[in-house]
Homo-oligomer: A and B are copies of this chain.
C-alpha cells in the first residue's frame, strides 16, 4: 500500500501574488516520484547505480487551486501506464483542507548512461514486472 507524500510549502516557494509559484509543482512531482519509487523498492539512486536513467520527456500540470505558506500539501502518486518503454506517472495534490490543488502527469523513458532508450521487458525484466503490475491501465 503506497503512502501519499507530504510536502510542507516553503516561504521561498511563494511569489508576489502571495501564493506558491506554479513552477514549484513540477519539483513537488519529482519529490513525490522519488518517494513513490523508494516505497516500491526501486529507489532513484539504486537505479542510477545500475546505470539506469529515467529522464522526463513530458510534464502536464493542471492547477485547480492555489496553495499558500504555510500549508501541508498531500500528493498521491501512481503509475498510470507502462508497457515497457514509456512510463506515465500520475499525481493528485490536495490542500490541507482536502480540496484539490493540482492534477499532473509526467512521462519518462529509460536509458542507459549513453542515452540509448531501453526496452525494459528485455533489459530489466524485474523492474518491468514490478512497474507493469502497479500500472492502473492494464495492457
Interface size class of A (residues with CB under 8 A): 20 to 34
Which of A22, A31, A58 has the most chain B CB within a 10 Å cutoff? A22
Note all chain B residues with C-beta closer than 8 A to A56. 22, 63
- Contacts A14-B16, A22-B59 known; list 19 others, CB within 8 Å: A10-B34, A11-B30, A11-B34, A11-B44, A12-B21, A12-B30, A16-B16, A17-B53, A17-B55, A22-B26, A22-B56, A26-B59, A34-B70, A44-B69, A44-B70, A58-B61, A58-B62, A58-B63, A59-B60
A15 interface residue (CB < 8 Å to B): yes
Measured CB to CB, the nearest residue on chain B to A22 is: B56
Each complex incorporates copies of this chain amounting to 4
CA distance A60 to B97 in the complex (A): 27
Find out whether the CB atom of B43 lies under 8 angstroms from the CB atom of A70: yes
